Structure 1
């Protein structure tokens, strides 16, 4: 008895590639006949096995490659005392900041956000005193860390001294108005790129 493939669009057959024999069902020929024999379809056991498949390097975060998923990055311009939030080349926001004073300059370079905290606790490097969340906390309501030497950290944070914004007055950190650091905190995630320029 002569058989033919089910009425499947030719492009579908092509797209199925090697798997197409698994999905084809012989039927009575309605228009024209295509002979089909068991010898024209290889068995899975007859297909060659790949002993050592090639290693493919990891691509990293999917957001970097998916359309419409361009990651956000920050550009901190110390001379302008301003941080910019970008998605690709589009500027989403910018905020005025205070940066490191002479002898305590904010580090320049290419970094990543490695730490985020809501209501951080301030620990004085000089006295060891701790100040919990609240209006007296020099870190304000949010912390976004992007640099460390293993002992100290530098990051974006709020302030209990809003008059300092726009000046070189910190010990390396980047002070922001409390409302601005809350907004920045929501725009970044761990791994967000931070570029610090002179």
Structure 2
């Protein structure tokens, strides 16, 4: 059953730009006959089980791990380093939980300081007007599911009480982790975004930096 659903999700690869996109992304596609091979089972979740990625297919650098961290950000903060393709959840005692991520392609990566304004479990997705103007065949709305570009969880980034339209979210394209291919959002393996989601509250500070800086 899970393989059939995953193969069906491949058909949505052209939709895998996050909600913030100014144009559709150009994903690194896996051949249809290899798509299911990226997965080794599933993790129980509601309303859908989370497909588990065969990490042997990925660069070991992008595996979740605890690392030393000497930045100035307080414990509980999220730091996204666009250049490294890494997300850090700062911990006490100069440590951080590090996850590999996919980021926006050149010219579409956002940087700055925001907070988590809300959190979503298996969120729905709608393209922006700009996305629809560039690719009119995009659906107006997608309900939650394995073929949804936002994946199993989403963290919505806000500034000054307003939605920036940028997200940290899951992805159904695990081969894009470590790449600069999205339309601006930060994408994580579904199993990793589920883990991060459980660790951070609404209101947590998020720093997204490029070239060592997150100040615009």
Do the structures match in fold with TM over 0.5? Answer: yes
Residues 1:151 and 1:192: Cα distance change in structure 2 (over 3 Å)? closer
Corresponding residue to 1:112 among 92, 105, 115: 115
Q: Distance in 2 between matches of 1:151 and 1:113?
A: 9
SS at match of 1:157: strand
TM-score between the two structures when normalised by the length of structure 1: 0.59
- Residue by residue over 1:72-121, the C-alpha shift from the partner in whole angstroms, topping out at 9 and shown as x without a partner, is 1111111000000113453241100011112311x212211111000100
Q: Distance in 2 between matches of 1:72 and 1:80?
A: 20
Q: Distance in 1 between matches of 2:78 and 2:164?
A: 21
Corresponding residue to 2:200 among 180, 184, 188: 188
- Which residue matches 2:80? 76
TM-score between the two structures when normalised by the length of structure 2: 0.55
Q: Is the 8 A contact 2:157 2:164 kept in 1?
A: no
- Which residue matches 1:172? 184
Q: Distance in 1 between matches of 2:206 and 2:92?
A: 13
Structure with bigger RCO (C-alpha 8 Å, 6+ apart) = 2
Residues 1:171 and 1:89: Cα distance change in structure 2 (over 3 Å)? farther
- Residue by residue over 1:107-138, the C-alpha shift from the partner in whole angstroms, topping out at 9 and shown as x without a partner, is 21221111100010011222452111111111
Q: Is the 8 A contact 1:81 1:97 kept in 2?
A: yes
Corresponding residue to 1:129 among 128, 137, 140: 140
Count of aligned positions: 128
- Mark the runs of 5 or more structure 1 residues left unpaired by the alignment: 1-69
The RMSD of aligned alpha carbons is 2.1
Please state if 1:144 is matched with 2:144.
Answer: no
Residues 1:76 and 1:89: Cα distance change in structure 2 (over 3 Å)? farther
Q: Distance in 2 between matches of 1:196 and 1:90?
A: 19
Q: Is the 8 A contact 1:76 1:83 kept in 2?
A: yes
